[in-house]
Amino acid sequence: MRIALGLEYDGAGFLGWQSQPCGNTVQDVLEAALARIAGGPLRVVCAGRTDAGVHALAQVVHFDAALERPITAWVRGTNTFLPAALVVRWAAPVANDFHARFAARARAYRYVLLNRPERPGVLAGKVGWCHRPLDVAAMQAAAACLVGEHDFSAFRASGCQAKSPVKTLYRFDIAREGDLILFDCCANAFLHHMVRNLVGALVYVGMGRRSPQWLGDLLATGDRRLGAPTYAPDGLYLAGVDYGDAWGLPRQGRIMAHLPLPIC
């Protein structure tokens, strides 16, 4: 039977999502724990692979189990064998044609940036940091050009394996809450490092190193070499994955309420 899981994890101690020979990835640790419940090895497929240091509030995965187990076993049982930084939030049986990656209609990411002169202390590893004052209004004006369907090659990592650089960005909101600046974006899919590269470019605008119009010009060039450095992974969170209502997944498996989609 096919099972979907909702995950939450602190990515600081993992070498990203995808399995590696060292075994210190979210996928490796999760599969080892699930094997204890399933009675044998299995493979999981995720909605979106996260890099080393990137966190998830609502990652979704699926796997095929040869033996039937109570749903509670996939949650409480699996959590017994997981480290504190990784937890299964929910489990649900799904149809055999459900696919955590290909069935997703959209994904949402949040980047949390600490904007103050002093580096983070309690929030170290959980936020990005910029010590210079940032103009949020200028960044908001710059981000407006990103919404819609575009070729995002100018914000694509050199090792990106996506078949096409054309993605549809449904929204990109920027707001300040005290010393924190929140970047919330939602798209049908994202390129490798796309969000972190966008944040890096927007920080350039916020510092006054570039004008808001520059971001649109950069987007049009399709040239990653002309952009800003990739921002740190610490502040990036996979905030939700949208599958619509057809699959009957728990609410935690869909876009969070504060990130509504036009298609929902």
Give one DSSP letter per residue of 228-264, joined into a string. PPPPPGGGEEEEEEE--STT---GGGS--TTS--TT-
Indicate whether 51 pLDDT > 50.
Answer: yes
Indicate whether 3 pLDDT > 70.
Answer: yes
Number of DSSP helices (H) and strands (E) in the chain, helices first: 6, 10
Share of the chain above pLDDT 70, in %: 95
CB 3 within 8 A of CB 93: yes
- pLDDT at 260 (0 to 100): 38
Fold exhibited by the domain 106-238: Alpha-Beta Plaits (3.30.70)
- Assigned CATH class of 2-103: alpha beta
Indicate whether 93 pLDDT > 70.
Answer: yes
Residues labelled as active-site residues: 51
Domain residue ranges of the chain, discontinuous segments joined by +:
2-103, 106-238
Mean pLDDT of the region 32-49: 95
Is residue 262 very low, low, confident or very high in pLDDT (cuts 50, 70, 90)?
Answer: very low
- pLDDT at 252 (0 to 100): 58
Q: What is the pTM of this model?
A: 0.92
Q: How is residue 133 written in tokens?
A: 């004052």
Do the domains at 2-103 and 106-238 have one common CATH topology? yes
Indicate whether 70 pLDDT > 80.
Answer: yes
